[in-house]
Amino acid sequence: MRFGTRISNIALVLALGLAAGPALAQTVAITGGRLALGDGSEPIEGGTVVIRDGRVVAAGRGVAVPAGAQQIDAAGRWVTPGIVAGFSRVGLIEVDAVGATNDASASNSPFSAAIDVVPAINPRAAAVAVSRTGGVTRAAVAPETARSIFAGQGAIIDLAADMDPITRARAFQYVELGEQGADEAGGSRASAHVLFRNALREARDLSRYSGIPGGGGAAREPRASDQRDFPLEEVPDNRLLAAGAQRSDDVLLTRFDAAALVPVLQGRQRLLVHAERASDILQVLALKREFPNLRLVLVGATEGWTVADRIRAAGVPVIANALNDLPATFEQLAATQSNVARMKAAGVDVSLGLINNEEARQIRLSTQYAGNLVALGKVPGATGVSWGEALRMITSGPAEALGLGAEIGSLKAGRRADVVVWDGDPLENGSAPLLVMIDGVQQPLDNHQTKLRDRYRRAGEGNLPKAYER
Amino acid sequence: MKGAFAAAAALILLSACTRDEAPRSASSEAAPAKPRTYSRDPFPSTYRAYPGVPTAITGATIFDGEGGRIENGTIVLADGVIRAVGGPDTAIPDGATRIDGRGKWVTPGIIDVHSHLGDYPSPSVEAHQDGNEITGPVRPEVWAEHSVWPQDPGFTRALTNGGVTALQILPGSANLFGGRSVTLKNVPGRTMQQMKFPGAPYGLKMACGENPKRVYGSRNQMPASRMANVAVMRQTWARAQEYDRRWDKYEKDGGEMPGRDLAMDTLRGVLDGEIMVHNHCYRADEMANIIDMSKEFGYKVSTFHHAVEAYKIADLLKDNGICAALWADWWGFKMEAYDGINENIPLVHNAGACTIVHSDDPNGIQRLNQEAAKALAAGRRMGFQIPDEIAWTWLAINPAKAIGVADRTGSLKVGKMADVVLWNGHPFSVYTRPAEVWIDGALMYDAADPSRRPVTDFELGQPGEGDVK
């Protein structure tokens, strides 16, 4: 690694010979770079990525450049899939402490599970552009709990500079079943678990009384996962909200909330469960016995390494913070930066997300966090991951855990062409993107921050105030 | 800039030498009777360096912390201090433990000027929230050291993952006058006093902007606005000047001892140049107001902390000899942080002002080297050719100056405290971690030796006790 001279970003983009604007219709070949596919494999020298109609046609060594393709010379650069944030709140918040701009949670709302982040996502939030400039192209966006253990439904978004951010609406339901869940449930974990079971019971009853097939949540024949991964375009099912859909008098949830949990119960929508403590994790895994169709994803799992064999046996993927190493709460006493790699070594499907207070603005740090997991490999007694594995944990890993592995997260043929060309090793502190493509479209890399930088490049003022410099 | 700093440092040094002599001279038979005064150091440091062995690291790349760089360098530590630093021909004393530093880097230990370890420790439970005395906006009488819990596991992470050897613990920013800071050596102790950096001057934490006006405005108290922030601060300084005059007169002429006011003692210490001001301030325009206020009342701001808009007034900071303690890339969490940019650190540095990388965070303090690396790279991308060894001043001599310990630590100069980190690679790489850390020449961390890895009382008997964290 070097921390040598770098020329400016602008100059490098020019050197790449890129035409500005959409590259949708044309075939583009990015050649000569050090290519990492995002699937866990190590980088390839002199790899080629071919893109057409917003999709990856081929990527690897020895891939032929189609005749007439626009060629981007990435010699000396690194080429990767766009970074995927496995857990975030990007697009929901402009300024955290300015309530009017913060749509993460709704402490005075009557609704919980029914909440859907989609209407709140602002693709023009400053953090979207800042994250894009840092090479992040997709993110899981989760709501935050307020008065219920259920936060509501999260989406997968892209970070392109356009007004169509949703990759998959209602990709998952998010629930708290640790300290936070206990708090939302009135004060104890036991209460949270009763509330959880009651909520799924109300969902089951609602779907049963509505006469919707399979609504009872009984065990079903397993199907191929791709069949079950269809987008939930019609949730809640309008039949569940119709006047004829009866409910018991003995309910806690609103009809909307109960209806929103039906696809969770049926296994048509993933359930992301936040739990950190080892015993909480085991309680979450046990839910599968009671509700066999649940498609669980563990979020957090700071103590996961201590029960990694049981997480692996349950086949539940994990989206974890990379570097928790403090007993920040009593549910994280066993925290160590080796958690992620130890779970991985035990066979757990683990990826990275930001489950902290940086989740709205700083998903661009995903690369740094992944790099730190590589660093652990050199520390005696610690457990690290390979470089390719670290990249996988912030690209195809979270994409697969969230059911979008066939669409995003890697440079395999057929995937959406989310491609980043970096000026150096993307996991290194000193590196930055030179080119970001989302769905094959070259993205602008300027934002509020880069404009401030350019205005204040020179200290002091000239013939006119700074307000005239841009 | 340098001149102003040297003057400030000399003043601190002078006051550090003289401030404890009043009680002694009062009891001295030879000297003429002087009025009894109060102790400036009622909670004295009991820190003792732990035993070390003469150690020589050879073949390493050395960043000396003041901007110097030595390839294939040798450094010799003995008797708690740096004995020699130089090239491969540096003499190594007989019997010294030799460490092969080839492929590794040696730097001074990182100094964090903005930490709340011990005051907001892990676990972050309600019972541990001891960093803000949110009962009034003017609380210079509280001392952060009286909230420090030495068993905070965060200290150990800052040492083993971060290579942090000294740190300033500050009160929080809820108040305009938050209280006194304390500087610690990052050596575990049973008491705060055992960690206290001997002879380090106190700091005064001040805060402008959103926090004080939000906390008190929401209670319908003053300050509820930025203008009230300044009004309350100025009124308080005016009171402090009066207090200072009364005590100056008494200590010179005798007479009836004025009443003690612990809040005013702290502010008097600032006006007398004994206590350094650390001012939390985000916005450029507010920093300019603070600078004018400091001139009005005759004190100096050592450092603006956070200062996410420092880049907008870097020339002003340089001209006034004020340091800026900054994050590499934090932004947007509140309104006054909205204009944070990745180039803040290199822009302030490039303007010639004293630049510091700080954490304010128990996780960030473990990666200050990486934060500096990100800022350095952002600067280079905009064309500032800042060498690695110059950038290391942001983590070493500059923070040492800002907290008044630059004469004793913060760089690898002969005779200084042997606060040293051996890194297992280039310390600006994400792939690098400390291999060994010495504090006052004692080996406090060795990645290869689990017995040189501190475990706090809190973590004993817990899952993961003694684990590599």
A152/chain B closest Cα distance in angstroms: 23
Cα-Cα-Cα-Cα dihedral of B76, B80, B83, B88, to 10°?
10
Distance in angstroms (rounded) separating the CA atoms of residues B399 and B394: 7
Q: Hey, where are the domains in chain B?
A: 2-51+109-419
Give the chain B residue whose CA is nearest to the CA of A383.
Answer: B468
Q: Which residue of B has its CA nearest to A379?
A: B447
Neighbours of A452 (CB within 10 A): 22
| C-alpha dihedral sign at A69, A74, A80, A85 | negative
> Is A6 in Cβ contact with B377 (below 8 Å)?
yes
Q: What residues of B are in contact with residue A338 (Cβ under 8 Å)?
A: 467-468
Q: What is the pLDDT of residues B408-421, one digit of tens each?
A: 999 999 999 999 99
Distance CA B258, CA A218 (A): 82
A contact residues 155-194, partner B, Cβ 8 Å cutoff: none
Q: Which helix (H) or strand (E) holds B55?
A: strand B55-63
Nearest Cα of chain A lies from the Cα of B404 at a distance, in angstroms, of: 28
Structure-token pair, residue A222? 């397993």
pLDDT on residue A207: 86
Residues of B in contact with A9 (CB under 8 A): 381
Architecture of the domain whose range is A83-404: Alpha-Beta Barrel (3.20)
Say how far apart CA B303 and CA B127 lie, in whole Å: 30
Distance CA A275, CA A256 (A): 25
Q: B399: cis peptide before it, omega within 30°?
A: no
The model's pLDDT over B294-319, given as tens digits with 9 standing for 90+, comes to 999 999 999 999 999 999 999 999 99
Quote the strand ranges of B79-225, DSSP E: 81-86, 97-100, 105-108, 110-115, 164-169, 177-185, 203-207
Instruction: Note whether B343 contacts A: Cβ–Cβ < 8 A.
Output: yes
Q: Which pLDDT belongs to residue A247?
A: 86
Phi and psi torsions of A10, nearest 5°: -60, -45
Residue contact B123–A126, C-beta within 8 A: no
pLDDT bracket for residue B169 (50, 70, 90): very high
Pair type for strands A78-81 and A419-422? antiparallel
- Residue pair A41/A81 in contact (Cβ under 8 Å)? The answer is no
Instruction: Using CA coordinates, name the residue in chain A closest to B318.
Output: A459
User: Is the CB of A326 less than 8 angstroms away from the CB of B154?
Assistant: yes
CA distances from A218 to A197, A200, A283 (A): 14, 12, 20
Give A458's contacts in chain B (Cβ within 8 Å).
none
Average pLDDT over residues B86-101: 98
SS3 at position B431: coil
With an 8 Å Cβ cutoff, are B332 and A372 in contact? Answer: no
Residue among A15, A45, A13 at smallest CA distance from A31:
A45
- Residue from B186, B125, B75 nearest B454 by CA: B186
Query: Which of A98, A334, A361 is closest, CB to CB, to B331?
Result: A361
B305 close to A (CB below 8 A): no
Tell if the CB–CB gap between A379 and B433 is shorter than 8 Å: yes
Q: Which residues pair with B279 in a beta bridge?
A: B206, B304
pLDDT over threshold 80, residue B6: no
Q: Does A337 touch chain B (CB under 8 A)?
A: yes
> In CATH, what class is A9-81+420-455?
mainly beta
Chain A 258-287, residues with CB within 8 Å of chain B CB atoms: 278
Distance from CA of A369 to the nearest CA of B (A): 9
pLDDT tens per residue across span A272-330? 999 999 999 999 999 999 999 999 999 999 999 999 999 999 999 999 999 999 999 99
Residues in chain A with pLDDT values less than 70:
1-25, 211-236
Interface check B42 vs A, CB under 8 A: no
Q: Do A3 and B377 touch (CB under 8 A)?
A: yes
CATH 3.20.20.140 domain range(s) in chain A: 83-404
Residue B261 contacts A, CB cutoff 8 Å: no
Q: How many Å lie between the alpha carbon of A359 and the closest alpha carbon of chain B?
A: 11
Q: Give the per-residue pLDDT at A357.
A: 87
**CATH 3.20.20.70 for domain B2-51+109-419:** no
Residues of B in contact with A97 (CB under 8 A): 210, 333-335
Does a cis peptide bond (omega within 30 degrees of 0) precede residue B88?
Answer: no
Question: Does the beta-carbon distance from B373 to A430 stay under 8 Å?
Answer: yes
For A327, which of B122, B330, B424 is closest by C-beta distance? B122
Residue A55: strand, helix, or coil: strand
Within 300-329 of A, beta carbons closer than 8 Å to B belong to: 303, 306, 323, 325-329
Contact between B334 and A97 using a beta-carbon 8 Å cutoff: yes
B73 pLDDT band, cuts 50/70/90, is: very high
B461 touches chain A (CB under 8 A): no
CB-CB neighbors (< 8 A) of B395 in chain A: none
Report the C-alpha dihedral over residues A288, A292, A297, A298, rounded to 10 degrees: -10
Report pLDDT for B181. Answer: 98
* Closest-CA residue of chain A to B462: A333
A95 and B385 in contact by Cβ < 8 A? no
B425 lies within 8 A of chain A by CB = yes
Residues of chain A with CATH 2.30.40.10: 9-81+420-455
B161 lies within 8 A of chain A by CB: yes
**Interval B122-162: pLDDT, tens:** 999 999 999 999 999 999 999 999 999 999 999 999 999 99
Q: What is the DSSP string of B199-252?
A: TPPPEEEEE-SHHHHHHHHTTT-S-SSHHHHHHHHHHHHHHHHHHHHHHHHHHH
Residue of B nearest to A375 (CA): B431
Contact A1 B426 (CB under 8 A): yes
Question: Using CB atoms, which residue from B362, B370, B467 is nearest to A336?
Answer: B467
B115 touching A (Cβ < 8 Å): no
Q: Are A371 and B431 in contact (CB under 8 A)?
A: yes
What integer pLDDT is reported at residue B7 of this predicted model? Answer: 42
Could you tell me if B218 lies within 8 Å of chain A, comparing CB atoms? no
Report the SS3 class of residue A208: helix
Distance CA B469, CA A323 (A): 9
